[in-house]
Amino acid sequence: MSYQFIHFDSYAREGSKQSKTVTKKNGDKITTTKQVKSIRQILEEQARIEAACPHIDQPRRPGLLYGVPPMEVLPMVEEWAENAKDAQGRRLRKDGLCALVGVASLPREMEDDFPQFAEDTLAWLKEKYGDRLKSVIVHDDEAHPHLHFTVVPRIGERFDDIHDGYKASKQVKQEGKKKGEQNLAYIEAMRAVQDDFSNRVAMSHGLTRIGPGRRRLTRAQWKAEKAQARFFSNAKAVAKVASKQGYKDGIHKAEEKAKTIIQEAQEQAKGLGSKIGGWLAGLAGAWHKPTAEVLAEVEKAKKESDKEKKKAETYAQKAKEWADQRVATVGNQITVQKEKTKELERDLEKEQEKSKGLGEVVAWYEKKFGIAPGNFNKLKK
């Protein structure tokens, strides 16, 4: 397969045949029919069960990036489908859609970037789908490294709740609009998802908006888009210069500086018309290294970070000295208090001995004379 930085499909518990009729310019109608797989077949293919992937010469066990292995998703799909109801309260048909499955990939020549691309894609998926995201696995046994993700609605939700296109189409239908407008709403919603992923993930890895798909672009336009993607990719690389050294302030400033440079370049490009491709392509060629200005910002941030680090170490040392002194002082106070307590205990024992002796004297007087000696009151029994 050719690489597509992200693509979505929907599946039901049972496979089906889908027919499509296209009318050519000469009036001829051509109908094509394709067999759509069931969600079980798709998950078996993801899991690389031998019978399910005859198109792979040497299937290799997939890597689990997030969630559960593919076949453990199947019971979750079944549970949701058994509890799902349509708008009229009817149970979901066997060919009713119940899982959203997608793929995101990079061209083979960028395979060294795939681990970070996969992590960035996972972060985007988790933010978008939350706990509906059940499994993300990685394959490296086809033409391009790629990941598969599977999304299942929560119990009580509709399938439309996890599919932007169907949700938008349904809303337009409820507004009483015609089929053509419903289809347009579907296309626009899915395009918005692609745009969001492109802006937040793919662009930073140097990928263009559509990937390898054929479009009616001039060579200059294609170069311009490639250059823009390269800009964002290199902006991220500039931030990594600071990241590897562990200077968070440097990261922030480098990113901000890179964004400013990119924005300035794009503003200038607006007035270049058809020359934008060549101009941006030439300018992008210098982006394999960070600019001197950005490096200066990073170096400045490094020095500031070192200064703050030394200040923190001084505070830490003073705090330790104070703590040690405090512990010693408290220890001395405890020792003194223990000595005082022992003295009090000895005094108490003496008084108890005196009291005991006095009690014996009083008891003897009581028994002998019936009265206590001196000013003692009589003890009555």
pLDDT digits (tens, 9 = 90+) for 170-210: 999 999 999 999 999 999 999 999 989 988 998 888 776 65
Tell me the C-alpha distance between 363 and 46, whole Å: 98
Least confident of 5-9, 93-97, 253-257, 284-288: 284-288
Tell me the C-alpha distance between 204 and 119, whole Å: 13
DSSP 8-state assignment for residue 5: S
Domain ranges for the chain: 7-16+34-205, 219-298
Nearest to 73 by CA among 44, 102, 103: 44
Tell me the C-alpha distance between 68 and 49, whole Å: 16
Q: Rounded to two decimals, what is the model's pTM?
A: 0.56
Tell me the C-alpha distance between 62 and 52, whole Å: 14
Tell me the C-alpha distance between 179 and 173, whole Å: 8
Percent pLDDT > 90 in the chain is 34
Tell me the C-alpha distance between 290 and 263, whole Å: 16
Sorting pLDDT into bands at 50, 70 and 90, what band is 214?
very low
Tell me the C-alpha distance between 124 and 203, whole Å: 13
Kindly report the backbone phi and psi dihedral angles of residue 136, in degrees, each rounded to the nearest multiple of 5, phi listed first: -135, 120
Q: Render pLDDT for 87-127 as a digit per residue (tens, 0 to 9).
A: 788 999 999 999 999 999 988 888 888 899 999 999 999 99
Nearest to 259 by CA among 337, 197, 203: 203
Mean pLDDT of the chain: 75
Which residues sit opposite 23 in a β-bridge? 29
Whether pLDDT at 57 is above 80:
yes
What is the CATH code of the structural domain delimited by 7-16+34-205? 3.30.930
Sorting pLDDT into bands at 50, 70 and 90, what band is 277?
very low
Q: Render pLDDT for 334-374 as a digit per residue (tens, 0 to 9).
A: 666 777 777 777 777 777 676 666 666 666 666 666 655 55
3-state SS assignment for residue 380: coil
pLDDT, mean of residues 301-318: 68
Whether pLDDT at 290 is above 70:
no
